[in-house]
Structure 1
C-alpha cells in the first residue's frame, strides 16, 4: 500500500449520517456529497450501480459485515476513499454471488486510480476485518477524524 493511498483518507469523506434503504440509495447519497467536492465524473453513478449489480461487493467477515463498492478509474475526477457508517445496515449482495445478503454496517467506497491499487486496498481491508481488535476499533469510531486515524494506522 502506498502512502499516496493512505492520503486518500480524509475527514471530509467520512459520513455517519447517510440514510439509505439499499445500495442504490447509498450511491445516490454518495454522489450528492462527492460530486460537488470534485471527485466524480458524470458517469460515476451509472457505472458504480452497474458494477455492483454484476460484481457484488458485500463481505460477511468474521468480525463485521461490510461492503467495498468501487468502479473503474475512468469514472473518477480524482482519487478518494469514502467511508460510510450508515445509521442502519444496508443490504448488499455477497461478493462472488454466493451466500446470504450482507447487512453492511460499514461501506468503504474505493476511488483508487493507481494501477493495481484497488486489489491491494481490498487485501489490506480484508486484513483489518479478519482481525477482531482492528475491526472493533474501526467500527467504534464516532468522528470522521477518528475513522481516518484508525484506518490510516492499519493501512500505512
Structure 2
C-alpha cells in the first residue's frame, strides 16, 4: 500500500459520544489532523448523512459508514470508532428506521471509482461474524488496526 489509509491515530476505542454528529465530527477531526481531508469534509459528511443515511444492520452488528464526495478529500483514509455507548443513525435502506450504532467507520475516498469498492469491502467485513466479534471485543487500538489492515484492503490500492 503506497499510503497509510488507517493508523492508530485514526481509531477511537471506548469513546463516549452524545450523538452521531459528535462522533462524525470527532472522526473527521482525526482525518483532518492527518491531512487526509479538507476543512469542508465534516460539514459535507453531516449534510450527506441527512439525505443519504449510512446506518446498516447485519446479522452480527449494527454500524454506520458516513462519507462524502472526493472533492472534500486530500487522500484516502478511514477513521474508526467503537463507542462505549450507542448513537442513533438512520438506516441506509429506510431513512425512517432508526438504528442504535456503536461502530462507525468514516470513509474519505479520494478516487471516486474506488468508493464503491471500499464500501463493499467494509460491508463484507461487517457481515462476517468472526470479524465483528473481534472488533466488538477489542481492548486495544492495535487490535482494531490489525483487523482493518487484514480485511479491508483488497482492491483498494491508491
The root-mean-square deviation of aligned C-alpha atoms, in Å, is 1.9
Decide which of 65, 70, 77 is 1:68's aligned counterpart. 65
| Residues 1:86 and 2:83 are matched in the alignment | yes
Residue 142 of structure 1, CA deviation: 2.0
Q: What SS is found at the alignment partner of 2:59?
A: coil
**Any conservation in 1 of the 2:74–2:110 contact (CA below 8 Å)?**
no
Residue 39 of structure 1, CA deviation: 2.4
Decide which of 84, 106, 109 is 1:109's aligned counterpart. 106
TM-score relative to the length of structure 2: 0.86
User: Which residue number corresponds to residue 36 of structure 1?
Assistant: 33
**Any conservation in 1 of the 2:27–2:80 contact (CA below 8 Å)?**
no
Q: What SS is found at the alignment partner of 1:92?
A: strand
**Any conservation in 2 of the 1:138–1:151 contact (CA below 8 Å)?**
no
- 5+ unaligned residues in a row in structure 2: which ranges? none
Deviations 1:26-52 (A, max 9, x none): 222223333233222121122111100
- 5+ unaligned residues in a row in structure 1: which ranges? none
User: Which residue number corresponds to residue 5 of structure 2?
Assistant: 8
Provide the rounded CA distance (Å) in 2 between the counterparts of 1:116 and 1:98: 25
User: Which residue number corresponds to residue 21 of structure 2?
Assistant: 24
Residue 139 of structure 1, CA deviation: 1.9
Provide the rounded CA distance (Å) in 2 between the counterparts of 1:143 and 1:136: 14
TM-score relative to the length of structure 1: 0.87
User: Which residue number corresponds to residue 122 of structure 1?
Assistant: 119
Count of matched residue pairs = 153
| Residues 1:144 and 2:128 are matched in the alignment | no
Residue 4 of structure 1, CA deviation: 5.2
For the structure 1 residues 100 and 4, does the alpha-carbon distance in structure 2 shift closer, same or farther, using more than 3 Å as the test?
farther
Provide the rounded CA distance (Å) in 2 between the counterparts of 1:49 and 1:148: 25
Q: What SS is found at the alignment partner of 2:11?
A: strand
